[in-house]
Structure formats: structure tokens, C-alpha cells
Structure 1
Amino acid sequence: MAIYQESGCVQRRPWEVPFTAEPRMVARVRRAMRLHLSLWGLSELEDVAQICVSELVANVINHVGPGTPVTLAVSTDGAHLRIELTDPDARTMPTLLAPMPGTESGRGLMILDAMADRWGVISRADSKVVWCDLATGAEVPNEHPRSARIARAEMSIVQHGSAQRPPSEKGSPLSVAVAEEAAIDLIADVLHWLSAQGCDPDEALDRAQMHYEAELEEAG
């Protein structure tokens, strides 16, 4: 909860709290969010963060069920505030849909999508994590600049991810979570190709990691 000092710069310790997803808990979680952001010096994000956490909890209540045990985790890398809500239902995946006129359901993710800079879902064997990022407006010196290599990788990921999507979703932007899965799938395909050519996939991964770390070091 407290701000602490590390390596000469102020860091904000991540915090998490388990609770039961029930309507009466929403106000308490909002107050906890406001308190922590005030302590972290991020009061300007209080309103948006409270709306986002409310929608995340409401999504669990509406689609998984009241009384579901969840865990809220909040952290920051300086440039973004990340809010994560973990629940034990790995089968029910949040989907961003346009609600029918006159209906109230289906609007939670639309609000989250509009408020957050990015959001996504991490699927696990026995749970899922719905997360969102809010930009703090701070400049982070160690943030990697966008390069031609990153642009090429992004193009490959988008093409690979789009090829795996159903026709109804083609042409729409990939969410960060979908793009991450597409990137992992693309790497797996490359490893299969290397193996088919008689190459050692593990050695290739090691060499790629070495190249990556050397380029980061060179970039400073």
C-alpha cells in the first residue's frame, strides 16, 4: 500500500485484495481504489479507475454469478495503471458486443472499452483475469521506442491473428489479449517450422533471446 524507495526512484508497491463479488461490495472496492490512488499520487485517475473497477465487478456478478470469489490487483509501471480482476470461471469469456436498443445488459464492456486505454482477458486453466490499463500521463525513460522491427512484428501478429478469427470478426482491430495469443501462436508455428527443417528450436529460442537482450543493451 505504501510508497517506497528503490534504486533512487519512487516505486508504488502493487496491492491486491480478495473479496466476494456482490453488489454491496462495489462501493467498498471503489473507496479502496480511491484511497490507494491518492496515496500513489494518482488522484487524477480516481474517477475513471473507480468506473472501470465497478464494471469489472458488475461483469462477474452478471455473467458468473453473485457471491463469486474474486481478487482485485492494482499495479503501475509508471506509464500505466493496471487493474486486474481474477475470477474462477475460465469458461465464461467477456465479449464486447453492441447491445440492442433499449437493453441495459452488454454495456459494461463498452464502458470499459471507452474508458480504458486498453483491456483484455488472460485465460488460465482454472480461472481468468480481466484487466485494463489507464495511462498516467507520465513519461517512462525505459519504455521501448517503436522501431521498424516492432512494426514488422506487429504486422505479422495482426496478419496471423486475423487469419485465425471467424469471418464475422475479420477486419476489426485485435485486442491486446488476442494479439498476445496470436504472437504466442506465431512463435509456436516458427518453432514447428524450424524443427521440420532439422533445426533445434531450443537453440533458436536461446539465440533469439540473446539477440533481443543485446539490442536492448545497445539501445541503452
Structure 2
Amino acid sequence: MSACRYEVKRKSWELPFLAEPEEVAGLRRIMRLHLNHWGLPGAVEAAQLCVSELVANVITHVGAGTPTTLTVSMKGTHLRLEVQDPDSRSLPTLLSAHSEEEAGRGLSLVDSVADRWGVMLTASGKTTWVELATELSAANGHVSDPRVSKAEAVLALYGYSEAAPRQGTSLLSLAAAEEVSVHLIADLLHWLCAHGRDPDEAMDRAQIRFESEAGQLA
């Protein structure tokens, strides 16, 4: 029996905003929430740093209140961040490591964490982009995590007879995998009840453990 694989759909998204210092904290929070939702907690810190510095660069060199757009997408297994602004004249410049100027140091930080970055001139201004390596082995795959791997092994065994025949393939959609997960959890609660254990207590303990582990990755 071939193992099932569950895809994570990471659809690109964009967020228009005005480049103001008070917007940076909100952008960092959105990045953390969205990348955790995408299953990329390991990329959060670098992505937050890059977004903060690129937006700060717009504020400093183009001006506070500049209409700006953040676009987040996947390019293969790399996370791609784009910050677009309407000024094609003020181009980001990477200073040398020995420069005593404060301006431009943010790009040194970006350069230190990014796999690659650059600037594209567009008809409406410019786009500064950054690509960050992730732990993914496939664009729609999961980050290597033994807990996820164990869960997928169980779901492959448990859901094979129910979900796979209806799909006509062993590649289940995320929605189908979620449905199989719900059935599995419900059956485990029945098993606990049949053996004299409290299913509510088990659910509470599982939730606490999950939140604790998720918090360590945030």
C-alpha cells in the first residue's frame, strides 16, 4: 500500500498598506500568523526581520505614508517576500560591512538572512524582493517534523480505505485529510471512554500539549 501525502496549499497573497512606523508591528504579527498557518514556523523570524527592514527602507528613503504593498508567495521551496513602492529613483543600497553610516544597515541584516534578494524596476515604481530558504523538500509539502510524519503515517493507514477510493488516488486533498483526522480523533475518544477513561480530560491535555509545542515554534 502506498503512503498518502497531504498537500499544503500556499496561495500567494498581497497586502496594501501605508508605510508608517506604527504599521510594522502589525505586519510582523501578520507574517507570524500566516507563516504558522502555512506550516512554516521556522521561517517566521527571518521573514519578520526582512519585512521590517524593507518597510523601514521605504519610510526612510521614499517617505512616511507611501502607498506600499507586501506580497508573500512561494517560489519552489523558497519563501518569497516582495515590497512594492512607487519610487523608482531611490534604490536600496547595501553598504560595506565597515561603513559607519546608519542608513543601509537594514539591508545588511536582510542580506545576512536571505538566500538572495534584489530590486526590480516596474512601470509603477520598484519592487524589492527577498527569497528565504525553508525546510521544505517540496513546494506543497510539510516541513520535516517527526510529529507530522507520525500523524501522516497513521492517517495513511486509517484513511486509506475511506478517502483514497473516493478520490481515485492516494494523494488526498487537505480537506479530505482533515475529515479523516476528525474521524480518527472521534474514534480515539470512543476508545478512551470504552476503557473507563475521561475523553474530555484527554482532549484538554492534548490541547494544552499542542498549544505548548506550537508556542515554542512561534
TM-score, normalisation: structure 2: 0.58
Match of 2:36 in 1: 38
Where in structure 2 are the equivalents of 1:129-148 lying within 5 Å?
A: 129-140=127-138
Q: Which has the larger radius of gyration?
A: 2
* Aligned residue number for residue 128 of structure 1: 126
- Aligned partner of 2:93 in structure 1 is 95
State how many pairs are aligned: 136
CA positional deviation for 1:89: 0.4
Q: Distance between the aligned counterparts of 1:90 and 1:49, measured in 2?
A: 24
Write the mapping of 1:17-96 to structure 2, written as runs, cut at 5 A.
17-96=15-94
Are the structure 2 counterparts of residues 33 and 123 from structure 1 closer, same or farther at C-alpha, using a change threshold of 3 Å? same
Alpha-carbon distance, 1:34 to partner: 0.4
| Cα pair 2:8 2:38 within 8 Å, conserved | no
Normalising to structure 1: TM-score of the pair? Answer: 0.58
Matches within 5 A, 1:183-194: none
CA distance in 2, matches of 1:99, 1:64: 24
1:197-212 paired onto structure 2 within 5 Å: none
1:102-121 correspondence runs (5 A): 102-121=100-119
Q: Give 3-state SS (helix, strand or coil) of 2:120's partner.
A: strand
Q: Tell me which amino acid in the other structure corresponds to 2:18.
A: T
2:57 partner SS: helix
Give the Cα–Cα distance (whole angstroms) in 2 for the partners of residues 73 and 66 of structure 1.
19
Structure 1's consecutive aligned runs of 4 or more residues displaced over 4 angstroms after TM superposition are: 99-102
CA RMSD of the aligned region, Å? 2.1
Identity fraction in percent:
55
User: Taking CA–CA contacts closer than 8 Å with sequence separation of 6 or more, which of the two structures ends up with the larger relative contact order?
Assistant: 2
Deviation at 1:140, TM superposition (A): 3.2
Structure 1: tracts of 5 or more residues without a match: 1-7, 142-220
